[in-house]
Every structure is written in structure tokens, then in C-alpha cells.
A and B are shown apart, each in its own frame.
Chain A
């Protein structure tokens, strides 16, 4: 009997503790959010830290230049992630530098992967995409003291004196991609488009909305079917999603994918459906064939940073913002466009660059 009482009291105590914990759970999610990103000063060299690191390109002074590249994706995807590594390799080969590249880095392992690069005495740690931003704290650690950092940004990364941020606005290039697709659809009398991508994450949802808004700028009655296959690199799932969209009668498909891009594009080609590239210029490709190249390749952005490193002008603590219609990248081109289509697209891109077109407002208005 006494044992029953003891058990009852223990149960009551556990319940009370759990209730107290539940009641104490008053912190909101936003209470633990990092502080808003601080804009970089116009003159970064005025800061006590950051600025131009001495000794570039051999920043750590060990007699050789080593660039360490970390990518969260498949570095053989013939697209977005590969372009970053290819650019670095081509540039390094030209300059006689060494490249250490590591693909498919789990975001949870980003920090340790960056530390490993620093231990290998790299002069620059380059992150292939903003997903690996959790590696940035390593830039503050002594092991990475003499290392430059290149980080692609997506607005939610805190600027620090130890890193260089490279930013583009995804809605600009995706809106222009949709606009280019809309021009072709209008001339062909089509109204159905498709968007095949991987996980239903914020970046894919936003990209889909901007693409839809771009099409509707030209074809207001157009519809966009979006399929989330769950994996940017799974070719079987991508083909299944593409086939389903083709069966629904879409005439343009945007395979917004990684390693699965070519499989989806080939299937679209076989069914006479137009396709767009997710990041790189592949107008010359014949298998698969692409009709519109959407250029927002991280490799193109990275090349500019490498050129600055080679000429000892790379600054830390600054953010480079790439703007459509202002910088060479991002941009969009129709592979075999008519003069009229090319002219309209060029005018649209120029209007985005001159801020005549508010891309965010257009996406909000037409992308839902």
C-alpha cells in the first residue's frame, strides 16, 4: 500500500514539473532570433577590422595559394553548384593556385568542415551557397585567423568584418525568367506553365511565385503548376513530376533543380516542352536543349571575388550586391529569341535595373 502512495506521489511530482515547464514556456520563437543584419559601411577600410587583408593572394604567407570550397550540393550537377567549383578550378589553374573542394556538405557539419579547411591552411574559405552560413563562426576562431571568407548571402546573414558577402535578389532573376517564358508563351498562344523543384522550402516557394508573376506580366491569364519533388538531385522523382506536368498540358517547364535538371529537361525536350536553366548559360547545349538561360550562377559572382583576390583588392567586411540590369549577372537570355522578344526582354531587364519596376511588388501582386 505504501508503495502505491510512493508511486502516486512520484507521478504527481513529475506531472507538476512537466506542467511548470509547460507554463514557463513563454519565450516566442522570435525572442531567440539573431539581430537584423547590419549594412556594410560604404568605406570598409575605415573599420578597425576587415578591409583588405595583407599579403593577398597568399594571405597566410605559407608560400602557396590555396582556395577551399565548400558546397551544400552535388558539385557534379552540371548546374548551380558545379558552376561554383568549376569557376574556382578554372581560375586557380590559370593562376597556379590549389583548390580543395568538398561537395554535399551537410548543413549541420558546415562549421566543422570550415574548420577542417582552415586547418589545411587555405587562404580563402568560399561557401558555395548561403545554406552553409553556419560555418561563418569559424571565421572568428584563431584557427581561421589568416583566412579570407567569401559568403553568398540571402539577406539573413549578419555582416561581420571577417567575411565578404555576395548577394543577389532571387526575385529579380526569377521574375525576368518568367517574363522571358511569358514572351514565348504569348507568341505560341500557350497559357500553361510548370515549375518542378525539390523541397517545399522558402527559397523554392519564393522562386515559384516570382516565376509565376513574371509570366503573368505578359500572359495575365496564365497558370503555373508547381510540383515539389522533395529532392533537387533525385532524377527519378524529377522525371515523374515533369511527366505529370506534361500530361496536364503545360508547354513550358522550369526544372528549378540541382543534379536532376538534365533528366527533367530531356523528358521535356522529348515532348516538345520548352525549358529554362537554373542558373547557368546553356544555350549551346544540345542534349538536353534549353530555350531560356537564366543566369544567376554563383560561379560568376565568385569569379569577381577571385579576381579581386588575385589583384590584392579583396575586402572583408563588405557586401557586394548583384543587381539585374546593372551588373553583368544576374541576367536572362532567350536562346533563339526573335528580335522583338529580345528587345522586350532587354527593356524589362533595364527597367528592373533602373528600379522602374518594383520586383517585390510585382511578385506580391501577381505571384500568389
Chain B
């Protein structure tokens, strides 16, 4: 009944002077093209081979860069291993980083499935952390309930922030890729304003001390607990949240009617619309869910031991960007994001150890970028080669003289 009503609404005459814009994913061709370019189909053994070659090339280039900057590639690999996997302490650090990365990546999978390319996760992480911090510091609510409210508030805020892009597209046709990107800068300014404004969230001044642009620490009741104790293996609640989220999303996408509709919308929005899918609502909701996961990642950064349990301008730590890369490397498959997020967690926690080898830590980001390219580029290149070969074959067939039957000239 609802679907029929939606169709009727779409067919009803619009107010003069107002041009309606289709749902996210139906006409946002730039985002759709970009998404298709970055997540092509698997492509068979050639793609697998090209990926292996790509990873080897990436590792060779990384070694070269490390050597050029005066470091030892072997020592760097050892440092990465020691900082991320050598003992339980290192594993704890890796898992702490993997949790927010996984949350962002799972959200990115949802929006990508609907054909909407959300690249504003960094801003959504910030907004989630901002609202989480405000709620955590201002609500006089006891213990675990406060934590639940902080997580919920962060998710809602992140979701609402992403939904604004959907709304802008619906009302004014603003490109979603562009708007989600630009909203990051607004989010950064909002957080900077909040932590620099004494009546909002800036830390309290003690005596005549100089205050920093950050909030007070969150109360103990608002912090995510852990199983185990540092420096032994510590599994934080944030990781459990992220894992549950990944499994739920994977099941929902694969086994539910909602997931089927979302996939249909992503593959062919027009067909989905004709099949009765409420494309406007579904596309917008996918973007909002993606933002909600990013907002939740912001709350995890705020409340888990991975951060310092305060709101700071740099709290996002590029987790939004890296989470999006995790989704891209995992080809937007929620369950595949789990090992990829772990790999990125390894690079992050191991990166802290690189300082001892004399290698600048930012080189870890270069290595990450090369690895992402190694995973994303091969299917695109294979597809391009196939298209070119197919084009050449078609051209040859067109230029070949048509076979003439014997005696036809007679």
C-alpha cells in the first residue's frame, strides 16, 4: 500500500518552479560511475594474478621509499610486526584501531550497495564524536545507560549529518559525492568551534592554567569496557560492536527483502523503481545508515582506549578516510571488511614503531595508499584491456569484407 502511495506521489504534479530530483543513486551518475570504477566485478583469474602482481609492486615500491628515506626495509617490516602482532600488547593496539575502521567500512558497504558513494565518513565520524561528547559530558545519567545514550546519540548524529547530503540532493540536486566531501570541512569547523568555546565543550580552566582546544575527559560511566587488561590481550567493547555490525549488515544485505531491494537499487535504479522499490527513501536511508556507522565509529574513538576519551579536533585520526579505503579494498563486502580492517589496524599500530627505525611515520600512509591501489586497480585494468580487445575484434569484424557466395557476381 505504501509503495503504491509513493508511486502516486511521484506522479503527482509538482509545484511550479520546483524541479524534482530523483533519489540518491538513480540519477547521481558521477557518484555511480566513480563507485563502479572503484569496485568493478571480480574478473576471474586475470584479476587475481594482476592483484598479486600489484601487491608485489606495491611492496617493492614501499621498500624503495623506505630505503630512499634512509631506513631499512627489513627493520621496518620487523618494527611493523613488533608494533602490531608480536605480543598481546601489540595485538590489543591493533584490535583497538581495527574496531572504528571496521564500523566505517561496514557503513560504506551499505551506501555503496545502494549505488551511492559516500565519501564524507571523516566528517560523520567527527559529528558522531561531537554529539557523543556533548551527551556524555552534559547528561547526568548513571553508568552504563550513559554509555548507551552516548553511542546512540553519536549514531543518530552521524546518520543525520549524512542524511543532509541526501536531502540536498533531493531538494536542490547537489551532487552527493561533492556534498558529503564538503560537509567534512563544516564538521571540522564545528568541532573546532566546540572545543574552543568555553560555554560549549572546551575543557574547564584550573586556576590560571592555559586551556587546550579539547573537552574535559568523559566520565568513567561513559567509557566502553574491555575484556582483559592492558598490557595483556584486551578486547574492547568497540570491537564487539563492530563485529556484530558487520555480521548483521552482511546478513541483512544477503538474506532480507531490504537487502535485495538495496542491491536492486544499486544495480539498476530504474528497474528497481519500476519494480516498486521506494528508491527515494531507500537511497536516503542507505546514506543515513552509512553515516550512522561512521558516527558510531566516532563514539568508539571517544569512549574506547584507542583515543584519550576527550573530544579534540583531531579525534577522527583519518579513520573515516581509512575506513572508506577498507571498504574499497574489500570490494564493499561486509564480511571481507573484517580481515581488511585488521590489516589496516596492523599498519596503524605498527606505524607507531617505525619511529625507532628512523622512517617517518607518514610513510605508513604511503604504503597504505599503494596497497589500496594494488587491490583496486587490477580489476579496472583487466576490464579496460578486455573492453579494448573486444572493441578491436568488433572493428576487425566490421572492416572484413562480407563473404560473397560463389557465383553471386554472375
Chain A contact residues, CB within 8 Å of chain B: 3, 21, 24-34, 36-37, 100-102, 104, 106-113, 115-116, 119-120, 130-131, 134, 141-143, 154-156, 170, 199-203, 206, 360
Question: Once the chains are docked, how many angstroms separate the CA of A337 from the CA of B87?
Answer: 59
Question: CB-CB < 8 A to A199: which residues of B?
Answer: 213
Return A165 CB to nearest CB of chain B, in Å: 12
Q: Which of B214-257 contact A (CB under 8 A)?
A: 214, 216-219, 230-231
B349 near A112 (CB under 8 angstroms)? yes
List, in ascending order, chain B residues with CB within 8 A of A120's CB: 82, 353, 356
Say yes or no: A107 contacts B314, CB within 8 Å. Answer: yes
Find B356's partner among A25, A36, A100, A131 (CB 8 Å cutoff). A100
Would you call A142 and B231 a contact (CB within 8 A)? Answer: yes
Q: Does B2 contact A (CB under 8 A)?
A: yes
CB distance from B299 to the nearest CB of A (A): 14
A25–B139 touching, CB < 8 Å: yes
Residues of A with C-beta under 8 A to B352:
102, 109, 112-113, 116
Q: Pick from A36, A104, A111: contact of B207, CB below 8 A.
A: A36
CB 8 Å contact bits of B248-273 with A (1 = contact, 0 = none): 00000000000000000000000000
Look across to chain A and name the residue whose beta carbon is closest to the beta carbon of B134.
A25
Is B305 within 8 A of A111, CB to CB? yes
Best-surrounded residue of A28, A102, A119 (most CB of chain B within 10 A): A119
Between A and B, 8 residue pairs with Cβ closer than 8 Å are A29-B137, A33-B203, A102-B355, A107-B214, A111-B308, A115-B89, A120-B82, A154-B209
Partner of B216, one of A33, A37, A112, A143: A33
Contact B208 A155 (CB under 8 A): yes
Say yes or no: B149 contacts A21, CB within 8 Å.
yes
Per-position 1/0 for B147-191, Cβ under 8 A of A: 001000000000000000000000000000000000000000000
Q: B323 on the interface (CB 8 Å rule)?
A: no
Q: Which chain B residue lies CB-closest to A24?
A: B139
Question: B306 in the interface, Cβ–Cβ < 8 Å?
Answer: yes
Distance of A33 Cα from B198 Cα, bound (Å): 12
| Nearest-Cβ distance from residue A93 to partner chain B, whole angstroms | 14
> What are the 6 closest A-B residue pairs judged by CB atoms, nearest first?
A33-B204, A156-B209, A155-B209, A134-B308, A116-B352, A143-B231
| Contact between chains at B314 and A143 (CB < 8 Å) | no
Q: Which residue of A lies closest to B356 (CB)?
A: A100
Kindly supply a per-residue 1/0 record for chain B positions 1-36, scoring 1 wherever the CB is within 8 Å of any chain A CB and 0 otherwise: 110000000000000000000000000000000000
Inter-chain contact B137/A156, CB cutoff 8 Å? no
Q: What is the bound-complex CA distance between A111 and B234, given in angstroms?
A: 15
Contact of B308 among A28, A31, A110, A156 (CB under 8 A): A110
Smallest CB gap from A119: residue in B: B89
Confirm or deny: B387 has a beta carbon within 8 angstroms of a beta carbon on chain A: no
Assess whether A3 is in contact with B209, with CB atoms less than 8 Å apart: no
The listed residue (B202, B216, B312, B361) touching A102 by CB distance below 8 A is B361
Among residues of A, the one whose C-beta sits closest to the C-beta of B229 is A142
CB atoms of B308 and A32 under 8 A apart: no
The answer on a CB contact under 8 Å between B137 and A27 is yes
Q: Does A141 contact B315, Cβ atoms closer than 8 Å? A: no
State how many angstroms separate the Cβ of B286 from the closest Cβ of chain A. 21
Compute how far the CA of A154 lies from the CA of B210 in the bound complex, rounded to whole angstroms: 6
Closest B residue to A137 by beta carbon equals B308
Q: With A27-B139, A108-B315, A155-B206 in contact, is A141–B212 under 8 Å at CB?
A: no
Q: Closest residue to A114 on the B side, CB-wise?
A: B352
CB distance from B72 to the nearest CB of A (A): 15
Which chain B residues border A154 with CB–CB below 8 Å?
A: 209-210
Q: Given that A32-B216, A108-B317, A116-B93 are known contacts, is A101 also in contact with B231, CB under 8 Å in the complex?
A: no
Whether B210 contacts A202 by the Cβ 8 Å rule is yes
Using Cβ atoms and an 8 Å threshold, which residues of chain A touch B305?
111
B90 lies within 8 A of chain A by Cβ: yes
B245 to chain A, nearest CB (A): 22
Kindly state the separation between the CA atoms of A237 and B220 in the bound complex, as whole angstroms: 41
Assess A155 versus B207: contact at CB under 8 Å? Given A27-B139, A108-B312.
Answer: yes
User: Which residue of chain A has the shortest Cβ distance to B362 in the bound complex?
Assistant: A104
A136 — nearest CB in chain B belongs to which residue?
B308
Q: Is B49 positioned at the interface, with any CB of A under 8 Å from its CB?
A: no
Question: Known: A155-B206, A156-B205, A156-B210. Contact between A107 and B312, CB under 8 A?
Answer: yes
Q: Is B83 an interface residue (CB 8 A)?
A: yes
Q: Is B196 part of the binding interface, using a Cβ–Cβ cutoff of 8 Å?
A: yes
For chain B, residues 74 to 97, give those with C-beta under 8 angstroms from any C-beta of chain A. Answer: 82-83, 87, 89-90, 93, 96
Cα-based distance from A24 to B317 in the complex (angstroms): 31
Contact A134 B140 (CB under 8 A): no
Give the shortest distance, in Å, between A237 (CB) and chain B (any CB).
16
Q: Which of A106, A131, A201 contacts B317 (CB 8 A)?
A: A106
Report how far A23 CA is from B33 CA in the complex, Å: 46
Contact of A32 among B89, B137, B361 (CB under 8 A): B137
CB distance from A169 to the nearest CB of B (A): 9
Contact partner of A131 among B89, B204, B212, CB < 8 A?
B212
Give chain B residues whose Cβ lies under 8 Å from the Cβ of A206.
210
Q: How far apart sit A78 and B211, CA to CA, in the bound complex (Å)?
A: 26
A102 to B352 alpha-carbon distance, docked (Å)? 8
- Chain A positions within 8 Å of B200 at CB level: 29
Chain A residues within 8 Å of B208, by CB: 155, 360
In the assembly, what is the distance between CA of A297 and CA of B287, in Å? 49
Q: Which residues of A contact B356 (CB under 8 A)?
A: 100, 120
Residues of B within 8 A of A32 (CB): 137, 204, 216-219
* B89, A24: Cβ atoms closer than 8 Å: no
Known: A29-B204, A106-B317. A141 touches B353 (CB 8 A): no
If A26-B138, A29-B137, A116-B353 are given as contacts, then 4 extra A-B residue pairs at C-beta distance below 8 Å, sorted by A number, are A26-B140, A101-B355, A120-B356, A156-B207
